[in-house]
Amino acid sequence: MLKTLSVLHTPELLHALASMGHGDEIAIVDANFPAVSMAQRLVRLDGADLAAALTACLHLMPLDNFVKEPAFRMQQVHAPDEIPEVQKSCQKIIDQAEGKHVALSGISREAFYERTRKAFVVLVTSEQRPYGCILLKKGVVFPPGTN
């Protein structure tokens, strides 16, 4: 155990987040997502829901502020403009972590799958609610006083 880290900061997750560079993407997906067949690198957080996994990641990783859309959610196939509760909770976590509103942009299921195949890492959770899938683009950690 280490001080100040969550129990969700497993060695595998810490290695993946630390290995990511500016602009690399992490897909955080639900239990129904075909993560094993899509992932270049797979990290499991069995027992964690999407909100807990997202909070653990954003505790250590900034979002990319050089792009207009650093965070994405998988749109529902039957109602693409409707935002499910699982994704609404993610929006609140993102805004809190970033200290400002950062839109969780919707992309189609097919587009989400395509981006996940190219993502640096896929983090699979035990989230059981449908459409508990988001994708984040990593930003830059600036030295103190330089951003």
5/47 Cα distance (integer angstroms): 17
DSSP string for residues in 30-72: -TTS-HHHH-SSEEEETT--HHHHHHHHHHH--B-SSSS--EE
Angle between the 50-60 and 85-98 helix axes, to the nearest 10 degrees?
20
Nearest-angstrom CA–CA distance, 98 and 134: 16
Pairing of strands 25-29, 121-125: parallel
What residues are annotated to the active site?
Answer: 22, 64, 113
Distances (CA, A) of 120 to 16, 43, 44, 91, 147: 8, 11, 14, 22, 25
